[in-house]
A and B are shown apart, each in its own frame.
Chain A
Amino acid sequence: MKLTLNVWRQSGPNAPGKMVRYDMPGVNEDMSFLEMLDVLNESLIVKGEEPVTFEHDCREGICGSCGFMINGKAHGGFPKTTVCQLHMRHFKDGEELFIEPWRASAFPLVKDLMVDRSAFDRIIQAGGYISVPTGSAPDGNAIPIPKSNADRAMDAAACIGCGACVASCPNASASLFTAAKVAHLNLLPQGQPEKFDRALRMVTAMNEELFGSCTNMQECEATCPKGISIENIAILNRHFVEASFSERPATAEVGAG
Chain B
Amino acid sequence: MASTAVANSKLHQSLALYQTAIGKKYVVAVTGAILFFFTIGHMLGNLQIYLPNAQEALANYAKLLHASAELLWAVRLGLLSCFVLHVVTIAQLYNLNRAARPQGYVRKTPTLSTYASRTMYLSGPILFFFVLYHLSHLTLGSTHPRYVEMDPYHNLVIGFRQPLASLFYVIAMSMLGLHLTHGVWSMFQSMGLNHPKYRNLLRNFATISAAALSIGNISIPVCVLLGIIGKDLV
- Decide whether A and B are members of one complex: yes
- B4 within 8 Å of A by Cβ? no
Question: 1/0 per position for A93-126, CB-CB distance to B under 8 A?
Answer: 0000010100111100000000000000000000
* Bound form: Cα–Cα A72–B23 in Å: 30
* Bound form: Cα–Cα A79–B117 in Å: 21
Q: How far is the CB of B98 from chain A (nearest CB, A)?
A: 8
Q: Which of B50-58, B155-163, B184-192 contacts A (4 or more CB under 8 A)?
A: B184-192
Q: How far is the CB of B210 from chain A (nearest CB, A)?
A: 15
- B111 within 8 Å of A by Cβ? yes
List B residues 205-228 near A (Cβ within 8 Å). none
* Bound form: Cα–Cα A216–B206 in Å: 14
Q: How far is the CB of A116 from chain B (nearest CB, A)?
A: 15
Return chain B residues, CB-CB under 8 Å to A204: 20
Q: How far is the CB of A123 from chain B (nearest CB, A)?
A: 14
Nearest opposing residue in chain A for B9, CB measure:
A249
Q: Is the CB of B99 within 8 A of A207?
A: no
Q: How far is the CB of B25 from chain A (nearest CB, A)?
A: 6
Return chain A residues, CB-CB under 8 Å to B68: none
Name B93's contact: one of A106, A172, A213 (CB within 8 Å). A213
Q: Interface size for chain A: under 10, 10 to 19, 20 to 34, or 35 or more residues?
A: 35 or more
Q: Is the CB of A72 within 8 A of B22?
A: no
Nearest opposing residue in chain B for A211, CB measure:
B100
Given A105-B100, A234-B194, decide whether A100 and B111 contact each other with a Cβ distance below 8 A.
no
- A1 within 8 Å of B by Cβ? no
Q: Interface size for chain B: under 10, 10 to 19, 20 to 34, or 35 or more residues?
A: 35 or more
* Bound form: Cα–Cα A240–B16 in Å: 12
Q: Is the CB of B22 within 8 A of A241?
A: yes
Q: How far is the CB of B24 from chain A (nearest CB, A)?
A: 7
* Bound form: Cα–Cα A219–B21 in Å: 18
* Bound form: Cα–Cα A230–B47 in Å: 38
Chain B interface SS verdict (over half): helix
Given A69-B105, A103-B105, A212-B97, decide whether A223 and B111 contact each other with a Cβ distance below 8 A.
yes
Nearest opposing residue in chain B for A221, CB measure:
B112
Q: Is the CB of A172 within 8 A of B101?
A: yes
Nearest opposing residue in chain B for A178, CB measure:
B22
Nearest opposing residue in chain B for A238, CB measure:
B192
* Bound form: Cα–Cα A199–B117 in Å: 27
Chain A interface SS verdict (over half): mixed
Given A172-B100, A172-B101, A216-B117, decide whether A203 and B108 contact each other with a Cβ distance below 8 A.
no
List A residues 231-247 near B (Cβ within 8 Å). 231, 233-241, 244-245, 247
Q: Is the CB of A172 within 8 A of B113?
A: no
- A77 within 8 Å of B by Cβ? yes
Q: Is the CB of A231 within 8 A of B101?
A: no
Nearest opposing residue in chain A for B26, CB measure:
A241
Name A170's contact: one of B14, B20, B118 (CB within 8 Å). B118
A sample of 6 inter-chain contacts (CB < 8 A) reads A19-B106, A72-B105, A215-B120, A216-B185, A216-B186, A223-B111
Given A104-B101, A218-B113, 19 new contacts (CB under 8 A): A8-B106, A73-B109, A98-B106, A100-B107, A105-B100, A170-B97, A173-B97, A207-B19, A210-B100, A213-B25, A214-B190, A215-B117, A216-B182, A217-B113, A217-B114, A217-B118, A233-B189, A237-B190, A247-B13
